[in-house]
Amino acid sequence: MSAVPRTSFLSRYPELGTAPIPVRPYLSNDYYAAEVEKIFKRDWLCVGRVEEIPKPGDFKVKRLEFAHTSVILIRAKEGSINAFHNVCRHRGNKVITETGGDETTGNKKAAVMSCRFHGWVYSAKGELLQVPHENKFPPCFNKSENGLVPIHVDVWEGFICINLAQRPSRTLPEFLGGLSEHLGGYPFHTMTHVHTYYAHINCNWKIGMDAFSEAYHVPTIHAGSFPGLTDYWQDDCELYGEHRSIAFYSRDMNPPTPVGTAANNIFGASIALKRSEPFQLPKTVNPQRHKNWGFEQTTMFPNFLIHVAEGLWFTHQFWPVAQNKCLWEGKYYTRKPLTNSERWAQHYAVILQRNAWLEDTATMEDTQDALLSGAVQEIHLQDDEIMLRHAFHIINARVEGA
Amino acid sequence: MSITLPTEFAELQPFAERWARATEYERAAERRGCTSAQLRSFYDVAIKHLPQILARVDRHPLNEIQGEDLHLFRIALSLAEIAPHVEFYDCDPHVPFAFREDRMLGFHSGRAD
């Protein structure tokens, strides 16, 4: 299927082996608990984009079910983005009520947050500014020691990342390593018109990650929405510590159709249709500048997939909720439309991608259910599924480690 | 409130009540409630008028379409919603072999598109 014969990915990474992968990591409650403690509570996690909270006082509250917490991300007056546990220092009420469920966004006037319960007021830097009837608290209570509990936060290429550890073992740049250079310079910030989808799926978070981490499924799963992408190949696989990246190439695009062509002639915003606007990619993405290159799919360990293409990019994120439950978020980004017809054309591309994601997510609960039967103890991965194999090795080493 | 289209789009008038919907969520729900024949007949009429609709909406600033043209724009968005079903899924009103559609929710920064 490949245009140019290449050596196998696995021969470049012999440490990954070729053996089948056990199914226990998808099913075991103990394994899940270890992932939460040893990975999700220790590593950097992407929780948003800077464009979501552009102005002072803008906030986003992100529920993190696995940690039984919700995180306030808020932009302070001087522009910095700060992160706190959403817990009032008085009696522990949520300072910002989560009216939006998994994500709540809004703006706090004057960049201060006021707890609804008794009116304690905090600055966007977390300082406790006001306590009604402060003089009735005993002398041992000190306002300056009772700011919001901070969470480590840093930004890379506009992605807001947090680390729940009290003392992260690595900075965000150290954590990202070579990944930072690989995707660094991709103009994420110029394509901020976002369509967001989400679903609560009854499967392990890794079942979801796996389904989006290979292109082997494209001819079968996407026969409906991407009939033109069946003659594909994968290349440019690189492992960056815990992170990984691989490219998708396709000989053809979707066949011309009246609406598809009308949309694409106005604005090419689909991975299944040609994009015409000239586009500058980072030098390690499509390094040969091959005309059949479709997109790069990069995993920021542990749970974030970034797909970059020419003129569009999209992400998937799977948040663990239980060993057999996760929250999926899919976000599709283009540049802002300039005209109403561009808005229409982009919408067509998004609808087609949404339908492809419905095709992707269709398998996830079935896979979880079927593995639960116990009928099989291991799964088999081919060379193009190296991203899954790498993920297993990295996660397993962490779970089994100290 | 009844939806009235400009006279030159009279052919689309029978489809206006169903398809001039403000949000993707509503348009997708309408699509799932249709028969294959209903999708096909809407598609066949709407595709003829698509170029004129897009030309008209571009006379308005982005996201500021008013009046009858807003109805037309929403009908064009409905055409985008059903296009894969007519062009790729053999007029199946649902996405074939898919996750249950009403369990996947959209949230587009509060935009009504």
Hey, what are A376's tokens? 């099989």
Q: B4 vs chain A: nearest CA distance in angstroms?
A: 21
Q: Identify the contact set of chain A against chain B, taking CB-CB distances under 8 A.
A: 103, 194-201, 221, 224-225, 227, 257-260, 262-263, 266, 337-341, 343-344, 347-348, 351-352, 354-355, 357-362, 364
Cα radius of gyration (chain B): 14
Share of chain A above pLDDT 70, in %: 98
User: Mean of the pLDDT values across residues A262-280?
Assistant: 87
Q: Which pLDDT band, with edges at 50, 70 and 90, does A101 fall under?
A: confident
Query: Distances from the Cα of A263 to the Cαs of A36, A183, A401, in angstroms?
Result: 43, 28, 51
In chain B, residues with a C-beta closer than 8 Å to the C-beta of A260 are 83, 87
Q: Does B10 touch chain A (CB under 8 A)?
A: no
Mean pLDDT score of chain B: 93
Full-model pTM? 0.96
CB contact under 8 A, A341 and B54: yes
Maximum CA extent, chain A? 77
Q: Looking at chain A, which residue has its C-alpha nearest residue B28?
A: A351
In chain A, residues with a C-beta closer than 8 Å to the C-beta of B79 are 259
Q: How confident is the model over A330-363, as pLDDT tens digits?
A: 999 999 999 999 999 999 999 999 999 999 999 9
Residue A302: closest CA among A3, A65, A29, A35 = A35
Q: How confident is the model over B53-73, as pLDDT tens digits?
A: 999 999 999 999 999 999 999
In which residue are the tokens 């947090």 written?
Answer: A162
Q: Which pLDDT band, with edges at 50, 70 and 90, does B112 fall under?
A: very low
pLDDT at A322 over 50: yes
Q: What is the DSSP letter of B61?
A: P
Instruction: Describe the crossing of helices B24-32 and B67-87 by its angle, rounded to 10 degrees.
Output: 50
Q: Does B108 touch chain A (CB under 8 A)?
A: yes
Q: How confident is the model over A32-43, as pLDDT tens digits?
A: 999 999 999 999
Q: Does B107 touch chain A (CB under 8 A)?
A: yes
Q: Which pLDDT band, with edges at 50, 70 and 90, does B110 fall under?
A: very low
In chain A, residues with a C-beta closer than 8 Å to the C-beta of B101 are 358
Query: Distances from the Cα of A39 to the Cαs of A13, A242, A310, A390, in angstroms?
Result: 23, 11, 32, 15
Q: How confident is the model over A280-296, as pLDDT tens digits?
A: 899 999 999 999 999 99
Instruction: Describe the crossing of helices B36-57 and A340-361 by its angle, rounded to 10 degrees.
Output: 150
Q: Does B5 touch chain A (CB under 8 A)?
A: no
